[in-house]
C-alpha cells in the first residue's frame, strides 16, 4: 500500500524543471561560455551576398534606364519593319458549322445557311528590319533614342530570331463617324523572323479570314478604285512570342495603323496591273441579234485568254466555278465623261469552270443580253456635234467605232447580282455585296467595217436630161430609181408579231457616177428623201432592199468632156455602162429607236438609157 501511495504522490507532484528525470538521463544545463557565434567564413559569405545584391540592384537600376516601354517597342518595330508582298494567292472559301464557329469569341462572321464561311489565302512576303532607319527618325527624345539603341543591340546580338503565334487579329476601317469592323484574321502556324539588320525572312503564310461582308466589300471597292486616301485601316493584335520553342510572353497591341506597315504604292501598282489586263480588248467572235415580242436579244460569243497573272492568283481553285452573274451597261456619252445608263438592259455571263479558264489557248465565253424597249433619248438624240448637213449623237459616235475594224468599242459594265451555283469561287452573299459597286471599262473589237454594210448601189431607169432654166441656162437633171442592198450584220431575226422590226425610212448623201473610170457627174442629196425598204432573208444573212426616187434631182457636172462622151455613147448605142459610187446616210427605224447611220459607202454598176 505504501508503494501505491508513493506512486500516487509522485503523479500529483508538479514537474520540476531543474531536477526532472529524462528516462534516467540528466538534462544538460546551459552555460554562457558554451554559446557559439557565426564563424568568420559565414560572415564573409553574408557580406558577399549583400554586395552582390547591391551590385545587381545598381545594375538593374542602370539597365532599367534602357528598357523601353511597350509603346516605344511598338513604335520602333513599326519604323524598322519592311514588308514586301511578293504574291497573294486565292485558295477559296471554306465553311464550318455553327457550333464550331460559336466557340470562337469575337470572330466576325459571314453566314450562309447553317454554316459560316471563311476565306483562305496564301501570301508570300519578305520581312526585313532596318534598324538604322528606325534610329534615324529624329522626333524622339534622348532617352527614347537610348532605348531604341538598346533594342537594336538586343535584336542584333541577343535575340536575333523571334517566333510568334498570331492568336487573333481584327481589322478595322475608320470613317467619319465610327470604326467599322472588317474581319478577323488568323495565321494557323508559328511564324519566325530574323531580327538582324537587313536579313530578309521569306515567308509563305497561310491566312484565314473571317470577313464582315458589307464593310470589307466597301474597302475592296475603294482599293480597286485607287481611293487609298479614303482608307484609314488599322488592326488590333493578340500575339504569343516564343524563343527556342518556349513561350516568352504575350503581346496585346490595341492599335497598329496599316500605313506604317504597307507601302500603298506597291498595292496600287498591283491594282494597276490587274486593271490594265482587264482593259485589253475582248475579241468578239460572233454577235447575233434577234428581235422578239418582248425585247431585242443579244448573243455574244467571245474568246478570252486568261493572263498568267490571274492563273498565279487562282492556282489552288481549279475545281471551283466562277458563278453566272448579271451586269448592267453604261454607254459612252458625247465626250465620255457623262456615260448613259441603260436601265432597260440586262446582260448575263455564264458560269465558267476555273480549270477551263486555265486551259491552253482562249476560252469561249457566251454572253447573253436583252434590251427591253427603246434606247434612252440621251443616247439617240443628244447633240454632240453638228454641221449644215448632219447632227452627231452619242449613238453615232458609238456606231462609228463599231463599223471601224481598227477601233475598239468602249463601254462600262457594272455588277448587278450573282446566281447561286455549286463550288462557287466566291460565296453569293459576298458577291452580291461587291457587284453593285463594280464599274469596269470594257474594250471590244467587233472586226466589222462600214464598207461591208452597203453591198450594192444601182439606179434603175437612169436618164440624164438637159432642162431649160430661163432663156440662156440649162441644168442637167437625172431621173431614176436608186436601189440599195443593205446588209444587216449580226441580225438573225427582224420580225415581231408578224411585223418587220427594222426598216429604212429616209436617206440622203452623195452619189458619184463614173464613165470610163472618169468621175463625170455627181448627184447630191442634201435633204432627207423618203425611202421604202423590205427585208430580204437568205440562208446566210438578212438584208434590206431600199429604194427611193431621184427624179428631178440636180446633177453637178464634174467633167464636161466625159459627159459628152457618155451622152454620145447613149445616142449611138442607146445606152452607156457607168459605175456608181455612193456615200449615204440612212435613217433606220428599229425596236431600239431611230438610229442614223452616217457615211456608209457602197458601189455598183448601172446602165444609162435614152
**319-355 pLDDT tens trace:** 788 899 999 999 999 886 688 999 999 999 999 988 8
Cell reading at 182: 472588317
Widest pairwise Cα distance in the chain? 193
Give mean pLDDT, residues 362-389: 89
Give mean pLDDT, residues 70-86: 78
Q: Where is average pLDDT lowest: 8-12, 138-142, 160-164, 358-362?
A: 8-12
d(CA 186, CA 297) in angstroms, rounded, equals 48
Cell reading at 483: 436601189
The domain that holds 458 is classified in CATH as 2.60.40
Do residues 481 and 522 both lie within one domain? Answer: yes
Do residues 436 and 456 both lie within one domain? Answer: no
d(CA 192, CA 199) in angstroms, rounded, equals 13
Do residues 461 and 601 both lie within one domain? Answer: yes
Question: Structural domain of residue 156, as residue ranges?
Answer: 62-274
Q: Note the pLDDT of residue 12.
A: 44
6 falls within a domain: no
Residue pLDDT, tens place only, 477-496: 888 888 888 888 888 776 66
Residue pLDDT, tens place only, 87-112: 777 788 887 765 554 445 444 556 66
Do residues 318 and 389 both lie within one domain? Answer: yes
Do residues 178 and 242 both lie within one domain? Answer: yes
Q: Note the pLDDT of residue 368.
A: 95
Cell reading at 425: 469561287
| Interacting residues of 1 by C-beta distance below 8 A, sequence separation 6+ | none
**Among residues of the chain, what percentage have pLDDT more than 90?**
16
Residue pLDDT, tens place only, 236-285: 888 898 888 888 888 888 888 888 777 778 778 878 888 887 778 888 88
Domain end among 248, 274, 300: 274
Q: Where is average pLDDT lowest: 21-25, 60-64, 470-474?
A: 21-25
Cell reading at 558: 464634174
13 falls within a domain: no
Give mean pLDDT, residues 388-411: 84
599 falls within a domain: yes
Cell reading at 314: 487562282
Residue pLDDT, tens place only, 427-477: 888 888 888 888 888 888 776 667 778 888 888 888 888 877 667 677 788
Do residues 420 and 473 both lie within one domain? Answer: no
**What secondary structure letter does DSSP report for 159?**
I
| Interacting residues of 548 by C-beta distance below 8 A, sequence separation 6+ | 481, 482, 507, 529, 530, 531, 532
Q: What is the pTM of this model?
A: 0.70
Annotate 74-113 with DSSP letters as a single string: HHHHHHHEEEEEEEEEEEEEEEEEHHHHTTSTT----EET
Do residues 106 and 145 both lie within one domain? Answer: yes
Give mean pLDDT, residues 210-228: 85
Do residues 554 and 429 both lie within one domain? Answer: no
d(CA 71, CA 79) in angstroms, rounded, equals 12
Average pLDDT value for the chain: 80
Do residues 480 and 388 both lie within one domain? Answer: no
Give the highest mean pLDDT range of 90-104, 147-161, 276-290, 372-386.
372-386
Domain end among 274, 292, 313: 274
7 falls within a domain: no
Q: Note the pLDDT of residue 190.
A: 93
Q: Note the pLDDT of residue 39.
A: 67
Do residues 235 and 345 both lie within one domain? Answer: no
Q: Where is average pLDDT lowest: 105-114, 140-149, 215-224?
A: 105-114
d(CA 80, CA 58) in angstroms, rounded, equals 31
41 falls within a domain: no
229 falls within a domain: yes
Do residues 291 and 222 both lie within one domain? Answer: no
> Within a 13 Å sphere around the CA of 334, how many CA atoms are in the beta-carbon half?
11
Quick one: how many helices (H) and strands (E) in the chain? 14, 34
Domain end among 239, 274, 309: 274
Q: Note the pLDDT of residue 279.
A: 78
In terms of pLDDT, which residue wins out, 527 or 450? 527
**Among residues of the chain, what percentage have pLDDT more than 70?**
81
Q: Note the pLDDT of residue 369.
A: 94
234 falls within a domain: yes
Do residues 316 and 380 both lie within one domain? Answer: yes
Q: Is the pLDDT of residue 526 over 60?
A: yes
Residue pLDDT, tens place only, 542-587: 888 999 888 777 788 899 999 899 889 888 888 899 999 988 899 9
Q: 3-class SS at 490?
A: coil
Q: Note the pLDDT of residue 497.
A: 65
Residue pLDDT, tens place only, 27-52: 444 444 445 555 666 666 666 676 67
Q: Is the pLDDT of residue 201 over 90?
A: yes
Give mean pLDDT, residues 208-223: 85
Query: What confidence tier does 371 reach under pLDDT thresholds 50, 70, 90?
Result: very high
For 83-115, b/e burial (b = at least 16 CB within 10 A) is eeeeeebbbbbebeeeeebeeeeebbbbebeee
266 falls within a domain: yes
Q: Is the pLDDT of residue 69 over 50?
A: yes
For 316-332, b/e burial (b = at least 16 CB within 10 A) is ebeebbbbbbebbbbbb
| Number of independent structural domains in the chain | 3
Amino acid at each position: 500500500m505504501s508503494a501505491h501511495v508513493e506512486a500516487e504522490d509522485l503523479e500529483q507532484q508538479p514537474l520540476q524543471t531543474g531536477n526532472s528525470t529524462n528516462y534516467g538521463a540528466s538534462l544538460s544545463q546551459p552555460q554562457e561560455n558554451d554559446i557559439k557565434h557565426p564563424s568568420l567564413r559565414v560572415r564573409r559569405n553574408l557580406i558577399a551576398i549583400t554586395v552582390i545584391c547591391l551590385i545587381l540592384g545598381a545594375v538593374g537600376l542602370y539597365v532599367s534606364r534602357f528598357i523601353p516601354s511597350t509603346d516605344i517597342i511598338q513604335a520602333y518595330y513599326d519604323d524598322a519593319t519592311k514588308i514586301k508582298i511578293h504574291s497573294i494567292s486565292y485558295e477559296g472559301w471554306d465553311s464550318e458549322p455553327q457550333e464550331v464557329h460559336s466557340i470562337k469569341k469575337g470572330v466576325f462572321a459571314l453566314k450562309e445557311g447553317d454554316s459560316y464561311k471563311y476565306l483562305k489565302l496564301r501570301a508570300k512576303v519578305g520581312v526585313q528590319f532596318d534598324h538604322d532607319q528606325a534610329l534615324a527618325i529624329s522626333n524622339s527624345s534622348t532617352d527614347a533614342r537610348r532605348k531604341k539603341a538598346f533594342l537594336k543591340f538586343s535584336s542584333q546580338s541577343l535575340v536575333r530570331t523571334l517566333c510568334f503565334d498570331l492568336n487573333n487579329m481584327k481589322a478595322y476601317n475608320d470613317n467619319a463617324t465610327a470604326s467599322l469592323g472588317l474581319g478577323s484574321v488568323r495565321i494557323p502556324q508559328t511564324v519566325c523572323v530574323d531580327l538582324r539588320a537587313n536579313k530578309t525572312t521569306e515567308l509563305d503564310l497561310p491566312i484565314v479570314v473571317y470577313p464582315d461582308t458589307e464593310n470589307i466589300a466597301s474597302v475592296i471597292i475603294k482599293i480597286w478604285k485607287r481611293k487609298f486616301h479614303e482608307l484609314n485601316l488599322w488592326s488590333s493584335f493578340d500575339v504569343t512570342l516564343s524563343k527556342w520553342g518556349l513561350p516568352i510572353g504575350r503581346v496585346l497591341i490595341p492599335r497598329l495603323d496599316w500605313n506604317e506597315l504597307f507601302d500603298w504604292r506597291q498595292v496600287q501598282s498591283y491594282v494597276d496591273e490587274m486593271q490594265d489586263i482587264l482593259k485589253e480588248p475582248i475579241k468578239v467572235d460572233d454577235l447575233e441579234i434577234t428581235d422578239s415580242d418582248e425585247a431585242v436579244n443579244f448573243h455574244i460569243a467571245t474568246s478570252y485568254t486568261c493572263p498568267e497573272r490571274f492563273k498565279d492568283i487562282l492556282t489552288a481553285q481549279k475545281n471551283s466555278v466562277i458563278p453566272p452573274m448579271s451586269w448592267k451597261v453604261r454607254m459612252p456619252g458625247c465626250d465620255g465623261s457623262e456615260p448613259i445608263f441603260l436601265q432597260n438592259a440586262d446582260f448575263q455571263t455564264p458560269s465558267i469552270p476555273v480549270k477551263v479558264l486555265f486551259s491552253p489557248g482562249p476560252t469561249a465565253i457566251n454572253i447573253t443580253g436583252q434590251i427591253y424597249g427603246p434606247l434612252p433619248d440621251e443616247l439617240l438624240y443628244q447633240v454632240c456635234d453638228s454641221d449644215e448637213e448632219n447632227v452627231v449623237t452619242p449613238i453615232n459616235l458609238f456606231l462609228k467605232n463599231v463599223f471601224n475594224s481598227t477601233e475598239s468599242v468602249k463601254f462600262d459594265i457594272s455588277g448587278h447580282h450573282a446566281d447561286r451555283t455549286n463550288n462557287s469561287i466566291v460565296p453569293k452573299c459576298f458577291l452580291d455585296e461587291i457587284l453593285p459597286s463594280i464599274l469596269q471599262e470594257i474594250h471590244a473589237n467587233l472586226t466589222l467595217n462600214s464598207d461591208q454594210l452597203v453591198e450594192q448601189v444601182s439606179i434603175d431607169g437612169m436618164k440624164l436630161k438637159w432642162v431649160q432654166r430661163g432663156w440662156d441656162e440649162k441644168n442637167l437633171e437625172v431621173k431614176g430609181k436608186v436601189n440599195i442592198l443593205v446588209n444587216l450584220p449580226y441580225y438573225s431575226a427582224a420580225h415581231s408579231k408578224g411585223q418587220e422590226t427594222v426598216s429604212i425610212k429616209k436617206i440622203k448623201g452623195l452619189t458619184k457616177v463614173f464613165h470610163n473610170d472618169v468621175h463625170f457627174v455627181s448627184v447630191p442629196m442634201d435633204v432627207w428623201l423618203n425611202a421604202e425598204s423590205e427585208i430580204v432573208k437568205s440562208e446566210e444573212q438578212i438584208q434590206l432592199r431600199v429604194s427611193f426616187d431621184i427624179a428631178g434631182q440636180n446633177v453637178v457636172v464634174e467633167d464636161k468632156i466625159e459627159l459628152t462622151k457618155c451622152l454620145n455613147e447613149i445616142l449611138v448605142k442607146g445606152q452607156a455602162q457607168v459605175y456608181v459610187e455612193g456615200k449615204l446616210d440612212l435613217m433606220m427605224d428599229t425596236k431600239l429607236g431611230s438610229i442614223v447611220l452616217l457615211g456608209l459607202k457602197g458601189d455598183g454598176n448601172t446602165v444609162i438609157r435614152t
